[in-house]
Each structure stands twice: as C-alpha cells, then as structure tokens.
Structure 1
Amino acid sequence: MANSTLVTEFFLEVFAETWELRILLSVLFLLVYLGSLLGNLIIIIVTTIDQTLNTPMYFFLRNLSILDMGYASVTVPNACINSFTDQRNMSVAGCAAQIFLFFFCACVEVQFLTVMSQDRYVAICKPLLYPMIMNHQFCVQMTVASLLTSLILAGVHTFKTFQLSFCHSNVVPQFFCDIPSLLRLSCSDTFNNKLLLLLTAIGLSGSCFIFIAISYVRILSTVLKVPVKGERGKAFSTCVPHIIVVSVFLSSGAYAYLRPPAISEVVEDMTLSVFYTIVPPFLNPIIYSLRNKQIKKAVKKRIFRFSIIE
C-alpha cells in the first residue's frame, strides 16, 4: 500500500447542503474576497507609486498585500464556484497544488507578520538605530529567507502527504484541500506526517508568535513611559488589533492542524477554517494599512489627481 494512491480525484464539501444557504454563504464569502482584493490592491498601488512611502514598513505592507491576494485566491474562488455549480470534484494534482500553495502562503504570512512586528519594535523602541537595523538589504534578505523557508516547508509537507495511500474515502470534509482532512482519509500510517506538522507548528508558528508577543509587549512598555496620553492611546489602538489578528490566525490554524481527529466535525472544521483562510486577507489591509494616516493621505492624493485629470 505504500507510496500508492488508490483514488484519482477528491470530492470537496460545499458551504451548506441547502441551496439557499449555500448561495447566501457563497455570495458573502465572494464579497469578502473581492473586498480583500480591492483593499490589498489599493495598498500595493499606493505604496508603489507614492515615493514618501518608500520605507521598510511600507515595503513589508506591500509584500503582505501581494501575499494576501494570492493567499485568498488559493481557496475562496474555487470554493465559491463549487458551491454555485455544485461541482465538487478536484483532481489529485489539483489538490496537491492547492495544498502546496496554501501552506506556502500561510508560512510566508506568519513570517511577514513577525518581521513587521520587529520593524515596529525598532521604530518605536530604538528610533535612532532604525535606519541602520531596518535597511533595504535587511528587508530584502528577510523577504527572500521567508519565501525560501516557506517553499521548503510547503514542498516537504505536500510530498509527505501524497506519499500516503487514500483508500478509505475520497470525500474531503472541507471546502478546500488541506493536510488534516487528507490525513483522516488515508489508510497509511500518518504518524510521521502528524509529527512533522507538530514540529512545524512549534518551530515556525510557535517561535514567530512568541517573537511577535515579545515585540508588542516591549512596544507597549516603552509607550507607557511616554507622558503624553494621546500617544499612549494611539499605540494601544495600533498594537492591540495587530495582536488580535495574529492570535486569531495562528490559534485557529494551530487548532485545526493539531487537534485529534476524534473530535472533528465537518461544520466545525469549515467554520474554523474561515478564520485562517478568509478573515486574515480581509482584515490585514484594514488593521495594518487603511487605518494609517499616511496611507489615507496618499490614497486621497491619488484620487484628487485622477479627478483633476478627468
């Protein structure tokens, strides 16, 4: 049975069994997806065109927006089309590609959020050293390192998953192909796969979360020493949403990937997956950028120029 796959295609779940609820949820998720694309696209255009936003902070915001557009596009459009058309089948190759791209984007997302917390920590706690630490070379190196690390992890996990045999069923209890769902369908020994997921969660997600938490704790402790109350409130309103988004993203993903299969329910799986597939790409532009005064100013300036040209 080793190294063989007995199924030629998988069948995905849709958002709901009843037609009305399925259409309602599909339209809702599609609107959220389009909102994600629009918000992230605005950030990409503005941070690229406006020279005043040529700083490390906006360099990573632009990269995060590019990533989020891809991250949301890996799962949401296909799931919505499946719900609209009631076509649930996906080839083994398509499933493997979706798992690889999704895992790759998720790993890069975690690392980008970590580097962005480092950027804010240096800017607030060590402003004099900011140009020296967060220079262009460092930013490019961290971006490349994040991409290469994620590429390796996604490749290893995808390869290990599709070394398994799938003979119990070919119905994936999820609206997209993900590793935990496929492990439940396998009739092979999945211990090594689960151990690899655990090590990745501890090594990458765990260490990144600890680093992010420490960075924001230091930021808040530094800001609390500032006598101006307005600055304190501004720092809290900036840091707390960041921490909430990161916590929801990592905790929901970790729970979905690491919990025992015995307590798994399809509806619960699908609901939980929304918090680490659809919500982050939608909230990131709002939390990280569109609440930013410089971004708002740059957007208004571009809109004003276009209106003058017309």
Structure 2
Amino acid sequence: MRPLAPEDPRTIGAYQLLGKLGEGGMGQVYLARSDRGRTVAVKTVQPALAREPEFRRRFAQEITIARRVGGQWTAPVLDADTEAETPWVATGYIAGPTLNQVVSEDYGPLPEQSVLTLASGLLQALRDIHAVGLVHRDLKPANVLITIDGPRVIDFGIARAYDGVTGGGLTRTGSVIGSPGFMSPEQIMGKRLTAASDVFCLGSVLAYAVTGRLPFGTTDSGGHALMYRIVQEEPELGGVPEGQLRELISGCLNKDPDVRSSVAELLEVTGSEPPSGAWLPAEVLAQLGRHAVRLLDSEDPDPLPGTRQPQDTPAPAAPQPA
C-alpha cells in the first residue's frame, strides 16, 4: 500500500481513504474505512470511461448482479455509486497478498497439494460467479488473493462493463481486453465468452502457481506472439507434477470450449471442502501474518489543508449485500 498523494481524494462516499492499493486500466484502487469501522477496498473508474454512457449503464448492471455473489470465496460487493461524477465500487477488503506476489516475489512456486487446494477454492468462486450469470473475463494471479482460509477472487464481473464500451472485446486501437498470458483462445479471437473461458484462464493460473511459469510462454517475444501460441499451440506443462494436478490443468486448457472440462466436473476431482489445517508452506503463512499486522498498524492519513474530516458531516451507513 502506498500513501495517498496530494491529488488523491481523502473520502469517497461514506469511506475515508487510508492509502492506495494499486491502479489499472479501469482506475484507482484505495484501502478505506467505513463510518462503522469496516476496512474495504474502493475502486474508482477512470475519467475517460466515466464519460461513456454505455459504460455507466453496463457498470451499474454488472454491480447489481455482482452483489448477489456469495462472499465465501470472493470479495463481496458492499456498496457502489454508479451515478457519481467518478463512479466507484466498494468491496470487502481481503487481508492477503496476491497469488502473483506470493509466486513471483515472496516465496516461489507452490507445492502440489497447496495448488490442489487453491484449485478447489477458485473453482468454488467461479461456480458462485457463474451461478448469477457473470463471467469473470480476467482471472489471473493478480486477481487471486491468498488467505489462511483459502483463496479469494476479486474483480469479478467488472471487466464485462469495460468490454461493453470497446466493441467485442477490442479497444479502440484494436488491442484485446484482458491479460495476454491468462486469456482463453475464444477471448483472443473476439468470440462470445461463456463460463468455459474462465476455466481456461484457471488452467493457466494453476500452471503458473505450481511452476512459476506461464504455460504458453511470456511476452518477451511480443504480446501477439503469446496470443498466437495460446490459440494454436499446446501448453508447456513439463514442470507440472504427473497425476491429478496435471490432468486437471490439461482439462482446463483444451482449445475447444465445448469439450473443455466444466467447473462441476473439476469440482468432482478437487472436492469442495474448505482447507483443513495449514494449506500453505510455513514461509507463506508467516508472510500472511506480517500482512495482517501492517493492516492493523494503518492509521488515518492527515487531511490536506482546507479539507473536511468525514465526521464533520455524518455519512449514511453503507448498505450490505443483498
């Protein structure tokens, strides 16, 4: 988390901002605290998107649907203002690092049993997301948070609003929406996406988690070359252990969405029981503890000169998920 910069707001809706968690194509993401004391993540929409009426319409529609997704394996949507000058959405804050950070920075590839537990949690998250009619569209290690109780998926459904103002998954300059190393063949080709697209992305995520490498290579030779390999070539799974995990990942990475393994079929392999005991290596669990301590130590930032504290005007209570 980074401190708030002078140009950052100090409050959004009923939430006091504590720091900046990150930023991406959609906008900024802040750590915030509600007037009831709950810690949340608030994502704002960049001005160019906010000026698009079609984006606002789809954003409001997707938020309404996303509120219905259960919160056991996802970050629940708690609040939103799709009519604000800068639209925003608040979700429950998950006190844990991303899978990308764990694998690429903190620890390295995870053991096979940890990845099987990871697969079970992510499959249950996808089951809940798909059950309300959403397709995640951007399942990648940066959108998977690691906690003591299992993984959590964030940013579900939001990508479809972004997709809707760009025409068939393409930006106005012709580049494909999504993360090149974690896209399905049908997403790259601009076809209609179904739940099967998320399953393909899941296969890439699991392969990365257990090997530390992308199954179709990196963008070193260019994003278009990587996307070509995803559409035309077989994945490189040499570092994936033989057996259950290799078969599970191979079933996810079938090029044809009609014969690709389904979420229900994959859950029959992994089971749907929550993790019992420590599902992560000791070094990762220690990192989770340090992460939680940093959150507890977070203090309210000093207001900028001339700004008002949230308590100057009582804020309405944040609505709870439907």
More helix by share: 1
Q: One fold, TM greater than 0.5?
A: no
Superposition TM-score, scaled by structure 2 size:
0.26
The structure, 1 or 2, with the larger RCO (C-alpha pairs under 8 Å, 6+ apart) is 1
Task: Please tell me whether Structure 1 or Structure 2 has the larger radius of gyration of its CA atoms.
Answer: 1
More strand by share: 2
